């Protein structure tokens, strides 16, 4: 059978969030220890907790909400590219490639600690966003919490990717994933009002 690789951050009360965002919290509305017949957990968390997709409404008041995202963009062939050592993700990150899959995932870090928010990220340039759009790419993924610099106020990469019709997947864990071609599955929840959504992202290896 084909091997499944979980590339999602684990989510718990110690999961790091964007500074100022809602940290994850868990309580119990029912508990067997308290005499209830079942255990039922209640969650409070940001739509950007852990591994998540950024919907267009995140940066565009007229953009689609999480429930309206095109699910086809989040399932299908994906190339994992090792981009460690790069200061930015620009068109040079695709150097030597004559073709990329419709989904491209960039590894930019040696390791990911989901309990620590990074000091810096390797941002996507608008030029790369446009190049990927022209190449027919449907989705870009990164192991960083944002495709833009942490201190960006204009969010140029977010806008360029959305304008190019490219879905955004952030906070991946690609530490133990070799570069190559996989099948990605990273479906957003059908949240009717939220701008974005957490996902359980997996890669499926091609069968030998």
Active site positions, annotated: 58
Using an 8 Å Cβ cutoff, are 158 and 140 in contact?
no
Angstrom distance (rounded) from CA 89 to CA 127: 9
- Given the DSSP bridges, would you call strands 52-54 and 40-44 parallel, antiparallel or unpaired? unpaired
CB 181 within 8 A of CB 105: no
Task: Give the Å distances, CA to CA, from 11 to 39, 44, 112, 187, 200.
Answer: 19, 12, 13, 16, 10
């Amino acid at each position: 059978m084909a091997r499944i690789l979980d590339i999602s951050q684990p989510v718990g009360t110690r999961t790091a969030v964007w500074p100022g965002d809602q940290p994850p919290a868990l309580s119990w509305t029912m508990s067997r220890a308290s005499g209830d017949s079942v255990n039922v957990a209640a969650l409070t968390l940001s739509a950007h907790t852990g591994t998540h997709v950024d919907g267009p409404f995140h940066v565009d008041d007229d953009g689609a909400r999480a429930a309206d995202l095109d699910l086809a963009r989040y399932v299908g062939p994906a190339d994992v590219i090792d981009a460690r050592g790069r200061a930015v993700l620009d068109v040079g990150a695709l150097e030597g490639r004559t073709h990329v899959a419709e989904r491209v995932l960039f590894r930019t870090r040696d390791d990911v600690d989901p309990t620590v928010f990074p000091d810096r990220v390797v941002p996507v340039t608008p030029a790369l966003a446009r190049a990927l759009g022209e190449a027919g790419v449907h989705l870009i993924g990164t192991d960083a919490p944002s495709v833009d610099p942490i201190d960006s106020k204009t969010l140029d990469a977010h806008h360029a990717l959305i304008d190019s019709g490219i879905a955004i997947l952030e906070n991946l864990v690609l530490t133990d994933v070799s570069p190559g071609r996989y099948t990605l599955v990273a479906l957003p929840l059908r949240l009717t009002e939220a701008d974005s959504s957490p996902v359980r992202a997996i890669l499926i290896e091609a069968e030998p």
